[in-house]
Structure 1
Amino acid sequence: MRLPDSFLDDLRNRLSLSAVVGRKVTWDMKKTNQAKGDWWAPCPFHQEKSASFHVDDRKGFYYCFGCQAKGNVFGFVQESENVGFMEAVEILAAEAGMEMPARDPKAAEKADLRTRLAEVTETAVKWFRLQLSTQAAAEARAYLDRRGLAKATLDRFEIGFAPGTADGLIRALEGKGIAWDLIEGAGLGVAEDDGRRRDRFINRIIFPIRDARGRCIGFGGRAMNPNSPAKYLNSPETALFDKGANLYNLRDARAAVGKGQPLVVAEGYMDVIALAQAGFEAAVAPLGTAVTERQLQMLWRVSPEPLIALDGDAAGQRAGLRVADLALPLIEAGQSLRFAILPEGQDPDDLIRAEGAPAMRRILDAAKPMLTLLWTREIEGKDFDSPERRAMLDRALRAVVRRIKDPSLRRHYGEEIARLRAELFGLSPGQTVVFDAPPPPAPPPSGRDFVPNPAYRRDRKNWKGGRALPAQPQTATRASALASGAMTPEILLEQVVLAGLVRHPTLIAEFTDALEAETWSRDMHGAIAQALLTLDPEAVPEEAGETLEARIGPETLETLLAQRHVRISPVMRGDGGGARQCIRDALKRLGAQRGADRERREAMEDFEEGADEAMTWRLAQAGKRKSAALRSREEERVGDGETSFADYYDSLLATPAGKTKREK
């Protein structure tokens, strides 16, 4: 079966090579330049310790300087999974959420049709280019000259002209033996109701549109007649041209980003051309439509933080907010947007012609983070002089934060919004509202300072290769953040999960998603989780322990494993199988409890605006689900079969500070 080129191209656009390779390697972040798409790691195809395996995310190729392995994303899956090409495509398609093309002859016919349509558009590019030098294009040349476009720029962007004749292009193409159905299929000809055929582009300056592979897939036309109903006209959707899945100048912009230039997203063709001519070569634009989700993903494949250049008028601001709202659920660490706001009434082309490239550079250097744009929308022109208005602001801000899917980023947004809100209302840090974050732990009770258990030092021999650390003074000042504050059920469960993975590092690979996605109650828990994610999955326990000590400190590790509720937990005894089930059960309970707590918080927020029977019912149901999450019984048994996981957790969560009923 021959797969359509468009399908393979779409698959490449949706999945970055670094993301696919990243599942098999541990990146050397000292050598990696993520912003340039330049990734390094030890080769997954041969045993080595140095980072000689190189991934070029811009070009979509990998190469190992040790074993000379090389290829693209499909070749990597073939080699790493030991599968054929079609199986590799199926694996990647499933990951990208794409359906495989139907296995029938029609797929090959469609691929062949796109190839023939591309040949038609290339012929049209040459014809339009020739027309720009004719007498009929004198006015168009004068217009381009007034816009300050040099001949080298016209040649680089292949700018052409469609004369005022009704069917000049059709006659030229048919004269070369090209059939009408291909002319119409390429979006270059229109059949009228009366049977006549005319060119789609008449008396317009023509901008060829090329995809990431360099094929001409369509055209944009700028009307020379000021009374034309459409100032700009694009090719229609065709088998070759998908407006929402392409960007103007993407191929050249990607190359410029690879040389260190920032990726700039402008509104239209002339903005991109003016930016490129002024030295900002990494400029792109959507194709006559608002930016789409697919286009955002394409932008992030080229640069982790594109700059959106907004026209300095109300329409430009609205367009920027639409992009921000679209991007909000998609952003994550290393994948966001910044917004460069131009002076009122100017677009990039206007600014460059009026004040030159330095003025544009200042605007780009002053680009604002996405949160600034969203914050300004919520407060600009509004007065918050009453509790009701402040509550409305809080509700709007919470709605913004909740749309962010990445837990870590959502927490940072919540913290920054709380800071901005405090500044707006003149509040002290202690009076700020926390947005989408767990409540701060209560201060530690008097006399409950943690002192590490001496037995822990002896137990460390189990995973430190028989070498115990020298004894250190055991004072209350050595108690870390792990042992301070109120031990809530969430904190207890989180510490059991982390301790289990410390004792059984071979299980980390199975719980990578949970470690990355979990919203940790304490910053120290998050630091331990990040350290666990950096461990070599093949490391023996003693090597893993030494690595963790180097990254988070021996005292932090000691404090975690010496907690009473950790020492008596099933993860500290038995084999990896028992620990695996214990960790899985703890994560399940965490998820269930947090889901119930979240629903309760949301119901309470709505409750503040007015209680009713439905609201009361929601609160009751949330309470029942939380109770069930904490008290559910499991069939699995621990180690010798004497104590079930549920028995341990019920005992753990039913008593303060992790004391079991027997110990209490």
Structure 2
Amino acid sequence: MRFGENFMDEIKTRVRVSDVVGRHVKLKRQGREFAGLSPFTNEKTPSFFVNDEKGFYHCFSSGKHGDAISFFMEVEGLSFPEAVERLAEMAGVEMPKADPKAEERAKRNKKTISWMEQAQIFFEKSLYRDVGGAARDYLKGRGLTKTAAENFGMGFAPNHFSALKDELMQQGASAKMLIEAGLIVEPEDKGREPWDRFRDRIIFPIHDARGRLVAFGGRAMDKEAKAKYLNSPETPIFQKGQLLYNYHRARKAISNPQNGARGMIVAEGYMDVIALSRAGFEHAVAPMGTALTEDQLALLWRAGPEPILCFDGDKAGQRAAFRSVERALPLIRPGQTLRFAMLPDGQDPDDLIKAKGRGAMEEVLNRAIPLVDMVWERELQAEPLNSPEAKAGLKSRIFAALKEIQHDDVRSQYQTVLLDRFDAEFGRQRKPYGGNNWNKAPVRKASPALKATMQSGAIEAAREKRLIGAILEWPGLLERVDETLFELQLASPQAAQMQRALLSYWRVTKAVEKSALNAHITAEGLETLHREFARDRLLIRAAMGGTDAQLDTRTALWMKEADALTGQDQTGDGSDEARTLMADAIRSDNSDALKRRMRASRGDRK
């Protein structure tokens, strides 16, 4: 029984190799891999390794190498269909039913591929005949040897309208089959003969992920040609948005344990891939003249968690990088991201390697920046940030970008990084004070009005603690005060740390629940700090109107505290005596002092 490629990809995606191997071998994690004793030989020192990122196992003692299916076949003596069925069972995927039409399509596609292979033979021979002299000179001028051209199956399409058609039809091909393969063009005028699609072009064979020849790309020799590069059209065996040039070779290269790369290198064109491969970066691929698609990203992530996208350092390259960001954000998840390598302005990998050698290219790759940094650059450069409104716009764009990320945990990490960066770049700069003393006055510039109403640094520290503590006590406040909480520049490191935890919880939660918030704080490693806030629960409740206060009342009191902290509230909270009593109450955590403070704030001197 034949199995479709989509079905095979689905079950391999759902079941890790370590899940299969772990049923027979005791595995122990070693970095990015698992290690264990070989199931194929009798050994005392582990030489058997499993790499889930790359989807293979390798046994150094026996030399055996394969995926989950081949492991079933080796260890349990299953046939290929039986091994697939076992893997599908583990994946929870229903086995496909026999489809006569699919079988017929497979046979026809196999025939089409055979004619593609005959076409490649013709193109390769043409390159080394007299007709290919100019093409050979061009390749030599680009630094390509005959060996390099042969390794990549390169050829030449003569400048003739029927050279390939005549050759293949003499071998028994029909015009209909060659049209379906995209090798010749059917004219709209039915009275005319079909003609060769590729003429006077250097030919690059294009393979699918399984290494089958499915299409060609052609580079024009004529500088005046309308299209510098021409690819095969979409056919039953070729959909350019689902393939990457050189993927079948790159996947083999990256699966080599000695490679060590965390993902493929993605360049712009065929010549860049060939130049990278010849310089030792054999895990290089390229899309077919378009921005990366979701299918192509899936191919990249199947080979490694962190592919590197190479772009020219000019404005056009930057725009192309930003388009890749837009496509990738909804798809990222743990162990599935991108990095971006920006080349010197005006140079592609081929140019750079020729001018400065492999070392220069390696340096560019080593400097590749993470996806989160490219997101920041994209939003930062959207408009000049020369006004408060423009900076607010940047914050809005950050939130919009975060909404594109579908995975909750990844989104939470991105928002922490991006919003911390926003605070560092554009927030009000306040110097935090050290230590765990909440009543020590922070070093900050206060407005004259604020200086007049605050007699002690303890008041400001206490306000910060009450603002954060109130939300810990009543998380529902987040629905009312979230924007103000985000804008607060807290001087206390403890309060600022808990502020970030509250905001990170708020941006991922769908329904505010105290138990969920507490669990989030624990997960953030802030349980001890949480208990420190909880010790002042009595004071915090009283400051927010008591346990029976309505949400509107608590919100108003919370906002008044926030306004006072930022200097916007010029009224204070009562007489000097009341403020002094409040500071004493906070310092002593004394309920009697708190009651005196509350009476003083009401003007009751009893």
* Smaller-chain TM-score bracket: 0.5 to 0.7
**TM superposition shift of 1:70:** 9.5
Alpha-carbon distance between aligned partners in 2 of 1:298 and 1:318, rounded to the nearest angstrom: 23
Q: 1:585 is matched with which residue?
A: none
Q: 1:467 is matched with which residue?
A: none
Q: In structure 2, the residue corresponding to 1:388 is in which secondary structure?
A: helix
CA deviations on 1:385-419 (whole Å, 9 max, x unpaired) are 43322221111111122322333322221221122
CA spacing shift, 1:345–1:140, aligned 2, 3 Å: same
Percent identity (aligned): 39
**TM superposition shift of 1:211:** 2.2
Number of residues paired by the alignment? Answer: 451
Q: 1:152 is matched with which residue?
A: 147
Letter of the aligned partner of 1:378 in structure 2?
E
Q: 2:115 is matched with which residue?
A: 120
Q: 1:205 is matched with which residue?
A: 202
Q: 2:29 is matched with which residue?
A: 30
Alpha-carbon distance between aligned partners in 1 of 2:123 and 2:340, rounded to the nearest angstrom: 35
* Paired residues of 1:17 and 1:61 also in contact (CA < 8 A): no
The 5 A counterparts of 1:92-241 are 103-193=98-188, 194=190, 195-241=192-238
Say whether residues 1:521 and 2:520 are aligned partners. Answer: yes
**TM superposition shift of 1:7:** 4.2
Q: In structure 2, the residue corresponding to 1:329 is in which secondary structure?
A: helix
* Paired residues of 1:13 and 1:298 also in contact (CA < 8 A): no
Say whether residues 1:3 and 2:9 are aligned partners. Answer: no
Q: 1:260 is matched with which residue?
A: 259
CA spacing shift, 1:68–1:235, aligned 2, 3 Å: closer
CA spacing shift, 1:363–1:62, aligned 2, 3 Å: closer
Q: 2:323 is matched with which residue?
A: 322
* Paired residues of 1:27 and 1:39 also in contact (CA < 8 A): no
* Paired residues of 2:206 and 2:214 also in contact (CA < 8 A): yes
* Paired residues of 1:132 and 1:160 also in contact (CA < 8 A): yes
CA deviations on 1:116-148 (whole Å, 9 max, x unpaired) are 112111111111110001111111111111111
Alpha-carbon distance between aligned partners in 2 of 1:70 and 1:352, rounded to the nearest angstrom: 33
CA deviations on 1:531-559 (whole Å, 9 max, x unpaired) are xxxxxxxxxxxxxxxxxxxxxxxx99xx9
CA spacing shift, 1:108–1:390, aligned 2, 3 Å: same
Q: In structure 1, the residue corresponding to 2:29 is in which secondary structure?
A: coil
**TM superposition shift of 1:10:** 4.7
* Paired residues of 2:18 and 2:51 also in contact (CA < 8 A): no
CA spacing shift, 1:19–1:29, aligned 2, 3 Å: closer
* Paired residues of 1:272 and 1:283 also in contact (CA < 8 A): yes
Say whether residues 1:492 and 2:515 are aligned partners. Answer: yes
Alpha-carbon distance between aligned partners in 2 of 1:278 and 1:57, rounded to the nearest angstrom: 28
Alpha-carbon distance between aligned partners in 2 of 1:55 and 1:267, rounded to the nearest angstrom: 32
* Paired residues of 2:53 and 2:304 also in contact (CA < 8 A): no
Alpha-carbon distance between aligned partners in 2 of 1:86 and 1:12, rounded to the nearest angstrom: 8
Q: In structure 1, the residue corresponding to 2:520 is in which secondary structure?
A: coil
CA spacing shift, 1:223–1:16, aligned 2, 3 Å: farther
**TM superposition shift of 1:154:** 0.7
The 5 A counterparts of 1:562-641 are none
The 5 A counterparts of 1:93-492 are 103-193=98-188, 194=190, 195-257=192-254, 258=256, 259-260=258-259, 262=261, 263-380=264-381, 382-425=383-426, 427-428=428-429, 490=513, 492=515
Alpha-carbon distance between aligned partners in 1 of 2:206 and 2:330, rounded to the nearest angstrom: 30
CA deviations on 1:23-79 (whole Å, 9 max, x unpaired) are 9799956325x3xxx4447999xxxxx988753558755589999999744577999
- In structure 2, stretches of 5+ residues that fail to align are 40-44, 433-463, 474-496, 507-511, 532-606
* Paired residues of 2:161 and 2:199 also in contact (CA < 8 A): yes
Letter of the aligned partner of 2:244 in structure 1?
L
Alpha-carbon distance between aligned partners in 2 of 1:441 and 1:178, rounded to the nearest angstrom: 83
CA spacing shift, 1:441–1:174, aligned 2, 3 Å: farther
CA deviations on 1:401-438 (whole Å, 9 max, x unpaired) are 2322333322221221122112222534799xxxxxxx
CA deviations on 1:357-399 (whole Å, 9 max, x unpaired) are 2221111111111122111121227443433222211111111
Alpha-carbon distance between aligned partners in 2 of 1:218 and 1:92, rounded to the nearest angstrom: 35
Letter of the aligned partner of 2:346 in structure 1?
G
Letter of the aligned partner of 2:110 in structure 1?
T
Alpha-carbon distance between aligned partners in 1 of 2:164 and 2:260, rounded to the nearest angstrom: 38
* Paired residues of 2:17 and 2:57 also in contact (CA < 8 A): no
* Paired residues of 1:247 and 1:284 also in contact (CA < 8 A): yes
4+ runs of 1 displaced by more than 6 Å?
22-27, 41-44, 50-53, 63-71, 75-80, 99-102, 439-445
What TM-score results when the alignment is normalised by the length of structure 1? 0.59
* Paired residues of 1:25 and 1:41 also in contact (CA < 8 A): no
Alpha-carbon distance between aligned partners in 1 of 2:410 and 2:84, rounded to the nearest angstrom: 37
Alpha-carbon distance between aligned partners in 2 of 1:269 and 1:12, rounded to the nearest angstrom: 32
**TM superposition shift of 1:308:** 0.6
Alpha-carbon distance between aligned partners in 2 of 1:286 and 1:279, rounded to the nearest angstrom: 20
Q: In structure 2, the residue corresponding to 1:117 is in which secondary structure?
A: helix
Alpha-carbon distance between aligned partners in 2 of 1:20 and 1:424, rounded to the nearest angstrom: 45
Letter of the aligned partner of 2:107 in structure 1?
D
**TM superposition shift of 1:22:** 9.3
CA spacing shift, 1:3–1:354, aligned 2, 3 Å: same
**TM superposition shift of 1:298:** 1.1
Q: In structure 2, the residue corresponding to 1:521 is in which secondary structure?
A: helix
Alpha-carbon distance between aligned partners in 1 of 2:134 and 2:12, rounded to the nearest angstrom: 40
**TM superposition shift of 1:21:** 4.4
- Mean Cα deviation higher: 390-399 or 422-431: 422-431
- In structure 1, stretches of 5+ residues that fail to align are 45-49, 432-438, 449-480, 496-519, 529-554, 560-664
CA spacing shift, 1:493–1:425, aligned 2, 3 Å: closer
* Paired residues of 2:127 and 2:136 also in contact (CA < 8 A): yes
**TM superposition shift of 1:170:** 1.2
Q: Name the Cα RMSD after superposition.
A: 4.3
Letter of the aligned partner of 2:134 in structure 1?
E
Alpha-carbon distance between aligned partners in 1 of 2:36 and 2:466, rounded to the nearest angstrom: 40
* Paired residues of 2:18 and 2:50 also in contact (CA < 8 A): no
* Paired residues of 1:422 and 1:429 also in contact (CA < 8 A): no
Q: 1:617 is matched with which residue?
A: none
Q: In structure 2, the residue corresponding to 1:345 is in which secondary structure?
A: coil
Letter of the aligned partner of 1:3 in structure 2?
F
Letter of the aligned partner of 2:420 in structure 1?
R
* Paired residues of 1:205 and 1:224 also in contact (CA < 8 A): yes
CA spacing shift, 1:170–1:413, aligned 2, 3 Å: same
CA spacing shift, 1:311–1:21, aligned 2, 3 Å: farther
* Paired residues of 1:132 and 1:141 also in contact (CA < 8 A): yes
Alpha-carbon distance between aligned partners in 2 of 1:56 and 1:311, rounded to the nearest angstrom: 33
CA spacing shift, 1:290–1:24, aligned 2, 3 Å: farther
Q: 1:642 is matched with which residue?
A: none
**TM superposition shift of 1:89:** 7.2
Letter of the aligned partner of 2:106 in structure 1?
A
Alpha-carbon distance between aligned partners in 2 of 1:75 and 1:491, rounded to the nearest angstrom: 50
* Paired residues of 1:269 and 1:285 also in contact (CA < 8 A): yes
